[in-house]
Amino acid sequence: MSTTELTKHEAVPVNIASAVIYCDSFKASAARSINEESTADGGSVFTNDASRSTKLTFSGRVFSDFAADFVFSFNALVKNSALFNVEYMGLCFSNCRLLSYTFDNKKGDWADVSVTLMTDDNIVRSDDT
């Protein structure tokens, strides 16, 4: 099990699909959708209450030696609905789909990348699996 303290400022390797991204930044967001309707007596009632998918964004870098492989495989993932699992900070994100990616190669030793995933599964701790 690999855990990451939020106070450490080091790039943490994370396997996403077929690439290792040295993650400098991680963002998770989730929301709930609630529809509210008026009643005849002037009150209100919820007519729909559902959780939405969790959006995960990993930003960091990949080494330039793997630049072509990254673009090739992540472009294919954004075009299809392949599911994959990601483990980060001791959390397991299962059945993820690639929503978007950015790749910025400035001809250095590494390329800056950002990968956004979506999952509608529950997030679990890796020691619970």
Per-residue pLDDT of the chain (129 residues; tens, 9 = 90+): 455 555 556 888 999 988 899 999 999 999 888 888 898 998 888 888 878 889 999 999 998 777 888 999 999 999 998 899 999 989 999 999 999 999 998 888 889 999 999 998 888 898 765
Say how far apart CA 71 and CA 73 lie, in whole Å.
6
For the chain, the structural domain boundaries read 12-128
pTM for the model: 0.79
Q: What is the pLDDT of residue 99?
A: 94
In the CATH hierarchy, which fold is given to the domain comprising 12-128? Elongation Factor Tu (Ef-tu); domain 3 (2.40.30)
Q: What is the pLDDT of residue 23?
A: 94
Say how far apart CA 74 and CA 63 lie, in whole Å.
15
Q: What is the pLDDT of residue 65?
A: 79
Cα-Cα-Cα-Cα torsion 91, 97, 101, 105, nearest 10 degrees, comes to 70
